[in-house]
Structure 1
Amino acid sequence: MPDLLYPPVIGLARTWFKALDLRFDIHGTHHVPRRGGAVLVSNHISYLDFIFTGLAARPAKRLVRFMAKESVFRHKVSGPLMRAMKHIPVDRRRGEDAYAHALGALRSGEVIGVFPEATISRSFALKDFKSGAARLAQEARVPLVPMALWGTQRLWTKGHRRDFGRNHIPVGIRVGEPLPAGDGESPLTVTERLRDRVHELLEAAQRAYPASPEGPADSWWLPAHLGGTAPTPAEARAL
């Protein structure tokens, strides 16, 4: 069945990016396979990360099917859109259904988008990864494609009001070389390697980021270990 809705939604998103005058710094999109299944794995710092993760796959002309919490599919507006774009609902009480759905999509040659931290990182530092992405890649025999986002938290994130009025916000996107899922390796070992690679990409995006906080009141989006006032990982866990 053809994707009738997904391409127009992408076009609308690009128009919105231009209206916001976002400044993109994107590297490594050639690592996204042009054909065949793959698991695209990103850090998670914003409610909008799925849009920017999907943007990284566009040079390869791929449409990413994201795994998202089931409540999004029940919403009267987002639900029909998510289903029409063939994203995958995740009911945490019945995770095996989402897993089987994603596995079938991978085996049919789709790119699946996964945020293995499961929820947004309030500290903007990398959290522990769930092993589901590695298990999917191993069972489907497809590569894991690591990537990192930076700057998206300034637009809309947990615990802060969305800010779509501030123009010229830089958004960094880094995509790394595909990682083999590792025949014979445990999913936990593969997950550790994957997390290390995403961490490297995140640090590269942070080093290249061209903006700094505009005073103490604006330092909320910078992690504590980089001198900002975002919660530490321990404080974020308490929240």
Structure 2
Amino acid sequence: MWIPKGFEIPTGVPDTPAHPESKELFYGRVIIPLAKFWMRYVQRLKVEIYHPERIPTDGGAVLAVNHTGYWDFVFGGIPSAMNGGRLVRFMAKKEIWDNPVAGPAMSGCHHIPVDRADGGGSVREATRRAAGGELIGIFPEATISRSFEIKEFKDGAARIAQDAGVPLIPVVLWGSQRIWTKGRKPIWRPKDASLILSVGEPVDLSGSSREATDRLHESMVEILDTSRARYAEVFGPFEDGEYWMPASLGGSAPSLDEATMKDREDAAKRREERIRRDAEKAAGVTPEKKKSLLGRLRGKLGR
């Protein structure tokens, strides 16, 4: 297993034989080595990874990952790659597949598209694949946390793990928001940026999916607190008012309550936009026809 300079596993490098997944041509032999190279030699990150051995060396599992930045799809798969080269199939919004570059890459890695308007099919697919021995990655917050705290969770991760009969494992990232997060431009070569990736113990899945989700949330909040303390110890100290620091730690990010209110406003706007598009489609207003009508209107207004 190739561990680039600057990557450290303080809890010890797992002595794990290579999993067959690691030999997948595109994901295992191209994407993962490229991700490690990019993190170390382009982004120049210092990375600490805690307890990658907690990810199963064989069989399925659901990895619940917190979400603070756009690179989390890459960073969230690194701990499992350090344990026998296991690969994570992330659930992601289907719009990513529309991108001419990202779409083929997502398909090549066998990630799972999610239709936000109707996620039932993707949940069934994730459950089938977890039961069949794959690692399924889920962001239970659904969207990036503007507050950089752990937001409220949807219960899909717990339901999939329960129905598939596989472990539910928390994975907490801290530091990715310094590289590229919501409302900020990406920093391709960040200065002194660092990451801590921590894998927690499997969560108790007894009871309802909501009860298991509450335990998952509690576990991830505790891991995040520990990770942030370690981050400050190793890579700090940091000045007050940093945009990437939560308000609770003296940063200028919005509070959890403020961020939650903004998320709900954005969700309402997306629903309205979806209803509008559906209504236009039902009325036979195609994008081309809409463009033509707008052109005519602008022409009349111009005269």
TM-score normalized by structure 1?
Answer: 0.94
Gaps of 5+ in 2: 1-20, 263-303
Q: Secondary structure at the match of 2:187?
A: coil
Deviation at residue 214 of structure 1 after TM alignment: 4.8
Deviation at residue 100 of structure 1 after TM alignment: 1.1
Supply the distance in 1 between the matched residues of 2:192 and 2:35 (Cα, whole angstroms).
16
Count of residues in correspondence between the two structures: 235
1:49 aligned to 2:72? yes
Question: For residues 5-84 of structure 1, what are the structure 2 equivalents within 5 Å?
Answer: 5-7=26-28, 8-19=30-41, 20-60=43-83, 61-84=85-108
Contact 1:144 1:181 in 2 (8 A): yes
AA paired with 2:26?
Answer: L
Two-structure CA RMSD over aligned residues (Å): 1.4
Deviation at residue 164 of structure 1 after TM alignment: 1.9
1:123 aligned to 2:147? yes
AA paired with 2:123?
Answer: Y
Question: For residues 202-213 of structure 1, what are the structure 2 equivalents within 5 Å?
Answer: 202-209=224-231, 210-213=235-238
AA paired with 1:123?
Answer: S
Partner of 1:221: 244
Deviation at residue 105 of structure 1 after TM alignment: 0.6
1:145 to 155, 164, 169: 169
1:3-59 Cα shifts (integer Å, max 9, x gaps) = 321020111111111222211111111100000110001110000111111001012
1:182-211 Cα shifts (integer Å, max 9, x gaps) = 2xx010000000110011111111000122
Partner of 1:155: 179
Partner of 1:3: 24
Supply the distance in 1 between the matched residues of 2:182 and 2:237 (Cα, whole angstroms).
20
Supply the distance in 1 between the matched residues of 2:159 and 2:25 (Cα, whole angstroms).
31
Q: Radius of gyration: which is bigger?
A: 2
Contact 1:142 1:181 in 2 (8 A): no
Contact 2:40 2:46 in 1 (8 A): no
Supply the distance in 2 between the matched residues of 1:168 and 1:32 (Cα, whole angstroms).
29
Q: Secondary structure at the match of 1:235?
A: helix
Supply the distance in 2 between the matched residues of 1:128 and 1:56 (Cα, whole angstroms).
24
1:64-89 Cα shifts (integer Å, max 9, x gaps) = 00000000011111111101110000
Contact 1:143 1:178 in 2 (8 A): yes
Partner of 1:237: 260
Supply the distance in 1 between the matched residues of 2:146 and 2:75 (Cα, whole angstroms).
18
AA paired with 2:70?
Answer: Y
Partner of 2:203: 179
Contact 2:153 2:217 in 1 (8 A): yes
Structure with the bigger RCO (C-alpha within 8 Å, sep 6+) is 1
Identify the range of structure 1 (15-24 vs 144-153) with the bigger mean alpha-carbon deviation.
15-24
Partner of 2:118: 94
